[in-house]
Amino acid sequence: MKYCSECGEKVRISVPEGDNRPRYICSSCQFIHYQNPKMVVGCLVEHEEKVLLCKRAIEPRYGLWTLPAGFMENDETTMQAAQRETQEEAGADVEIVQLFTMFSLPHIDQVYMLYRARFKEFAFSAGSESLEVDLFDEADIPWDEMAFPVISESLRRFFADKKSGKYKIHNGAMLKKSEMKPGQQTTSFSVTVLDDD
Amino acid sequence: MKYCSECGEKVRISVPEGDNRPRYICSSCQFIHYQNPKMVVGCLVEHEEKVLLCKRAIEPRYGLWTLPAGFMENDETTMQAAQRETQEEAGADVEIVQLFTMFSLPHIDQVYMLYRARFKEFAFSAGSESLEVDLFDEADIPWDEMAFPVISESLRRFFADKKSGKYKIHNGAMLKKSEMKPGQQTTSFSVTVLDDD
């Protein structure tokens, strides 16, 4: 952000009175431009032991696999956003079963929410943002060609819950290595999770 | 939004190629300014059958009661946001127990998330945005002086779950009367909820 979206003059970065964080503030009209995390919402669609994956036709991670998901829009609910993204990217009309994962990704200012879902009618096809859409058994999932760690983590938890016979709601955070405290595990992401019982 | 935050020129509203929604687009540099919902995150702090409420010292709803909650910031997780807001507004250092409610409020482009929490150390005090902070039994909650329907709804569900002996995770939406379909209930808000079992 370089200019004020209210008056068009230059913004500066400083801590407003009574606040404790630097914000973009207009040098002319003094408008404070807050910036907040975005929600990425999608579906984990299950059908006969398989899940629906999309091969990305867009950057970032062109050609890699993911779940149908995208930025939540204004004027919709989280569930509507999950259904819309699944329709747009995977051509699938689904009903929501239950919230499955909600992971904060503070290094990119996003919160990922994935819902378990099932087909209302069995049909899917690649939308404009997907090269290919298909159903995969756990054993056939292209684990080495997944686009995002948060999606791989969600899929691993899905198949683990499936085996255990009980789907939890997993709420946590994926932190980059550089954000971890000493003694935390040394994979590229650390996952802290508060599972419901 | 009137001006482009990238170059300072005027924005227009139109549907970008390949998109299906009107966006703010810069007339000069063509930058597309997406707008997305914000998350409001807070805590339902329980202590010996009572919950911690704050009397608002700011608009909107000055002088009415609410739970400690506020806009999630960049560079933090949802749980950190909930703890920070509880510290700022209620002077309470809490640990998160579990996600309790996640309600979409599409008419104001917000998603509310409330966590059940408990004191790490028993202490609370009014922060700069609160006139007063206190613990309330269910019977003593000032139901007629609550600031936001989403908070009242969350508190009602909290006490109902408490009586049932099992806290669920409640995920749904609160829709304004004007957003409801024919035949839906006629209170000022309709709540659709997907409770976990």
* A151-197 residue pLDDT tens: 999 999 999 999 999 999 999 998 876 665 655 444 455 666 666 65
Q: Which residue of A has its CA nearest to B34?
A: A73
pLDDT digits (tens, 9 = 90+) for A65-103: 999 999 999 999 999 999 999 999 999 999 999 999 999
Entry field: residues in chain A: 197
- How confident is the model over B49-72, as a mean pLDDT? 97
In this complex, do A77 and B106 lie within 8 Å of one another by their Cβ atoms?
Answer: yes
- Residue B75: which residues within 8 A CB-CB, separation 6 or more? A106, A109
Distance CA A125, CA A102 (A): 26
pLDDT of B190 > 90? The answer is no
Instruction: List beta partners, residue B174.
Output: B191
Q: Identify how many contiguous H helices and E strands chain A contains and give both numbers.
A: 2, 12
pTM attached to this predicted model = 0.92
Distance CA A71, CA A81 (A): 8
Q: Give the one of A33, A35, A39 whose C-beta lies nearest to B37's C-beta.
A: A39
- How confident is the model over B56-74, as a mean pLDDT? 97
Q: Give the one of B6, B34, B76 whose C-beta lies nearest to A106's C-beta.
A: B76
**Placement of tokens 């000069």 in the chain:** B28
Determine the residue among B4, B5, B118, B129 to mutate to test chain A binding: the one whose Cβ has the most chain A Cβ atoms within 10 Å. B5
Degrees to nearest 5, angle at CA A5 with B11 and A3: 105
Contact A129, A56 (CB under 8 A): yes
Contact A17, A38 (CB under 8 A): no
Distance from CA of A140 to the nearest CA of B (A): 30
| Complex confidence, ipTM | 0.91
| pLDDT of B175 | 85
Determine the residue among A2, A7, A78, A109 to mutate to test chain B binding: the one whose Cβ has the most chain B Cβ atoms within 10 Å. A78
| pLDDT of B193 | 67
| pLDDT of A175 | 85
- How confident is the model over B78-102, as a mean pLDDT? 96
| pLDDT of A185 | 42
pLDDT of A17 > 80? The answer is yes
- How confident is the model over B112-129, as a mean pLDDT? 96
Contact B157, B44 (CB under 8 A): no
- How confident is the model over B61-72, as a mean pLDDT? 97
| pLDDT of B176 | 79
Distance CA A15, CA B136 (A): 35
Task: For residue A51, give Cα distances in angstroms to A83, A87, A156.
Answer: 15, 15, 12
Supply φ then ψ for residue A181, to 5 degrees. -85, 160
